[in-house]
Structure 1
Amino acid sequence: MYTTWGARMRKTAVLGLSLTLMGSALAACSSGSDTSAEKRVLRIGFIYSSPDSEQYLRQQYTDSYELMHPELDIQIVSAMNYDDQRFQEQTDPSKPVTQPDPYDKLKELLNGTNPVDVVVLDSGTTYLKRLVQDNMLKQLDPIIQEKEFDIEDYVPTVIDGIKEAGDNAIYALTPTFNSSALYYNKKIFADAGVEVPKDGMMWDDVFASAKRLAKGEGNKRIFGLQMNRWGGDAFNDMQQYYLPALQMKVFDDKGEKMSVTGPQWEKVFNTFVPLYKDKIIPSGQDLYDTGTTDGKQAWNPYQGDLFINGRVGMMVAGYEYITELTRAKEQNAKNSKVPSVDWGVVMMPQHTENPGYGSSINLSALMGINAKAANPDDAWEFIAFNNSKEWAKLKSRSTYELIARKSMLKPRDGQDYNVEAFYTLKPVPPTNLDMEKLSREKPGIYEAQYMGTQAIQQVIEGKMNVQQALKDWETKGNEALKRTNDGASGDGVVRPLG
């Protein structure tokens, strides 16, 4: 899942900001409100929660609205309780703990005797697409038109992703999203006499520029491209940002047979192997080179960050990286020993086979109305509030998430950078809606996927050619899939694809 719990906790600062929005409303509510009147109930459903996390969910999504609407009793409910999994005893060490199907639990939340009015999905568009296909959400287009709710202000990344999941209709709205882009070092490009990147570039163009930038040896080497700020593993790097838009599969939809041989996989390996073999892209070892020759490690608060240290021409990273780049520049002005970089940013490279899509885009808080909602009117007002321009103005101060409204998306702190790079491309649509279920029922299945790490490394080290490595991966992967399908659990770790 793209949005980790640690990232979510950073959002709690938004609650304090919201006080400016609701001050006058609270004053009005405190005088003359009839507290004896029966409150209307608005039930908000989440996929995951626990007693410990409910306070966070209220701070993030409901407290401000509830304070402004004392006539409402907002109830937080969840499809899955973290504690139920945390305290589940594993009675048979040879078998994985049985996990309930989150989507089945989500459907119970919407179809039960006391269904939720609003559902909040924080795991991208996969569940949204499934709920739409199962006719479990209310289409919002008629309400948007009736209420004259402004969606023209939404960035293409968000509205296009929502419509693609809803068969060109809107079934949910999100106030925030996460996205990555291609950062570049202006000085390295100028020194090499290479034109700086621009929006709309294809991956092949980026690789060509990277090869022209790379130079030097040892701890003075300048690398052309880094696929991941904390990367260095060829397979993980390419599957995070390069493979998703190609919608390539490691195994079939049933998890029974490998799908890693053939021209398409050969092309990917033949593209990436030279980039790592020729050190156009740094290895994991390169990331932690001290840059010294006397064995003493120099003080550097950005040890391991080759981009900030001026040793990488281009790097793929998320929106939150701007915070680190800004901090480095500020501290460099106080202490010249702190490295800093003159940078720019453009949108993610695209594939000529599938243009218009960018990897690692997540719509982080999709809010939809249950088709069986008991209180659909308040449900819409709640969604409209959380997606309003006023609320977006407050959320725009976040340093970790992007705001879905263009009018509120501006460079931070008076800086001048290409913020459009983060919101022009569409998120890659889910290709297999049952993959989560497959990985849960067969937790060892990703053993077969991650054998790709060894396969490409064998080629980089010259121990196999591409065809041999892919064939070896296919053979060993099929053996792993057979073990999994026969009941073995592999390492028991459930890992997401891409």
Structure 2
Amino acid sequence: MSNASANLEWYNATDFGKEIKAKFPNVKINFIATGKGMTPQDLVVSGQQIDLIISSIFSFPLLAETNLLYDMSELIKKNNYDINRLEPYAVEYQKQFGSGGIYGFPISNAPVALFYNKDIFDKFGVAYPKDGMTWDEAYELARKLTRMDNGTSYYGFSTRYPFMYNVNQLSLSYYDPKAQKVLVSDDKFRLFMENFTRFASIPGNEKATTDMFSKEKNVAMMAYQFGKWDFDSWDMVSLPYFKEAPGIGPQVYPTYMNISSTSKHKELAFEILKALTTDDYQMRISKAGTLPSVRNPEIIKAFGEAGDPANGKNYKGKNVGAFFPAKRANASFVTKYDDIVAKRINTAFTDIAAGKKDSNTALREVQEASTAEIQSVKK
């Protein structure tokens, strides 16, 4: 489609707008940020025109509820777009959400790994983590490095449980929409919960947070996504594996760009999605330190080459291969009932870590209470 003059309403804006302005100079973009009074429901009720939506997969249930999701399958076919060039796990993730439709293109991915502070390992004479470790090996390192030294508390490990569930390596789901069943009381979910609650149960480590890794710099290891850090004595290794799932890396955590069902400029919006997934653009963001959404080996290999120190993304000399596991976990189900389960799981996590409840009891209670609430919502 030619670069026709048009106004595009863009919900939840990011830096991608710079590329669009460069490639489509005749297109005027109106950015609508998320916030109070600016939720998808609010915008639908107000009649606000929306053409493009930036989201994660976990926004899809809400977008579906407000009828903003649009299956692009016909546009993909009409434009002869090769969907196989995109990160396959990110494409399959959204297919699993609905009835096999394509509701958006992944335009970037989150860099997930086990980060570590070399200064802490050096201080206590402990060998650095390695690629291919198991969670059991990471746990032993965390125990060694959780200590008090000259009045300073050092923490062996930090993470955020909700995020680790979102990228979980066991392909766990809170709810199975096909079987219409809550799934948190089986052995695999107990294994997953006990893996992370044990880190929080290490005496002295219970106060560790991911912010401490970059601010106080007193956390030895952090399982999370890359952030903007003002020190250089860090590196990373692949996210540890479950011995029950050897070699399986985290699920993808992509950022999607979706065409809104309300858009009056769907063809032009699709042209923009094509522009943001070209090899040229993906190569540039990959070199600057943003995980690409395409599977081109040369683009993946170029990750972090140029760096972007102004934005805290300088990977020079770092083990960037940790971001690219040979095999990723299959996608979990994402449903509109997940929040009902998640709020109870988060409480259960805290109770298990604090020793208030054993994992079998806590997860059984979550299963029962979540099932009851979901049934009441369905009525």
- Whether TM exceeds 0.5 here: the answer is yes
Supply the distance in 2 between the matched residues of 1:311 and 1:59 (Cα, whole angstroms). Answer: 37
Cα deviation for residue 224 of structure 1 reads 2.4
8 Å CA contact 2:113–2:224 kept in 1: the answer is yes
Supply the distance in 2 between the matched residues of 1:85 and 1:427 (Cα, whole angstroms). Answer: 32
Which residue of the other structure, out of 13, 17, 21, is the alignment partner of 1:63?
A: 21
Partner of 1:470: 360
Partner of 2:164: 241
Matched, 1:452 2:331: no
Alignment of 1:133-212 (within 5 A): 135-136=73-74, 138-139=76-77, 142-144=80-82, 158-162=87-91, 173-190=105-122, 192-212=124-144
- The letter of the residue matching 1:208 is E
Supply the distance in 2 between the matched residues of 1:258 and 1:139 (Cα, whole angstroms). Answer: 36
1:36-77 CA deviation, whole Å, 9 max, x = no partner? xx984778686xx3xxx67x788345322221xx5xx67879
Partner of 1:305: 212
Cα deviation for residue 456 of structure 1 reads 0.7
Tell me how large the CA RMSD over aligned residues is. 5.2
8 Å CA contact 1:256–1:482 kept in 2: the answer is no
Alignment of 1:263-282 (within 5 A): 263-279=187-203, 282=205
Output the TM-score relative to the length of structure 1.
0.53
- The letter of the residue matching 2:304 is K
Cα deviation for residue 417 of structure 1 reads 0.9
- The letter of the residue matching 2:303 is L
Matched, 1:422 2:323: yes
Matched, 1:319 2:226: yes
Cα deviation for residue 427 of structure 1 reads 5.8
8 Å CA contact 1:140–1:172 kept in 2: the answer is no
Cα deviation for residue 418 of structure 1 reads 1.6
Supply the distance in 2 between the matched residues of 1:86 and 1:368 (Cα, whole angstroms). Answer: 14
Aligned length: 351
Alignment of 1:89-108 (within 5 A): none
Whose Rg is larger?
Answer: 1
8 Å CA contact 1:122–1:365 kept in 2: the answer is yes
Q: Which runs of 5+ in 1 are unaligned?
A: 1-37, 89-98, 110-115, 229-236, 289-303, 330-341, 489-498
Supply the distance in 1 between the matched residues of 2:108 and 2:9 (Cα, whole angstroms). Answer: 18
Alignment of 1:349-498 (within 5 A): 349-355=240-246, 357-359=248-250, 361-366=252-257, 382-392=272-282, 395=285, 401-404=290-293, 405-406=299-300, 408-410=302-304, 412=307, 413=309, 415-424=316-325, 428-433=329-334, 435-436=335-336, 438=337, 446-459=342-355, 463-464=356-357, 466=358, 469-475=359-365, 478-479=368-369, 481-483=371-373, 485-486=375-376
Q: Cα gap change, 1:170/1:135 in structure 2, threshold over 3 Å: closer, same or farther?
A: closer
- The letter of the residue matching 2:291 is L
1:79-122 CA deviation, whole Å, 9 max, x = no partner? x998575996xxxxxxxxxx989xxx9xxx9xxxxxx7xx6653
Supply the distance in 2 between the matched residues of 1:58 and 1:306 (Cα, whole angstroms). Answer: 29
Partner of 1:346: 237
Supply the distance in 2 between the matched residues of 1:427 and 1:41 (Cα, whole angstroms). Answer: 41
More strand by share: 2
8 Å CA contact 1:42–1:375 kept in 2: the answer is no
Output the TM-score relative to the length of structure 2.
0.66
SS of equivalent residue, structure 2 residue 127: coil
Cα deviation for residue 266 of structure 1 reads 4.2
Q: Cα gap change, 1:180/1:142 in structure 2, threshold over 3 Å: closer, same or farther?
A: same
Supply the distance in 2 between the matched residues of 1:139 and 1:201 (Cα, whole angstroms). Answer: 43
Partner of 2:296: none
- The letter of the residue matching 2:76 is K
- The letter of the residue matching 1:283 is E
Partner of 1:335: none
8 Å CA contact 1:455–1:473 kept in 2: the answer is no
Supply the distance in 1 between the matched residues of 2:183 and 2:366 (Cα, whole angstroms). Answer: 12
1:255-304 CA deviation, whole Å, 9 max, x = no partner? 98654445334434554454333337x223x569xxxxxxxxxxxxxxx6
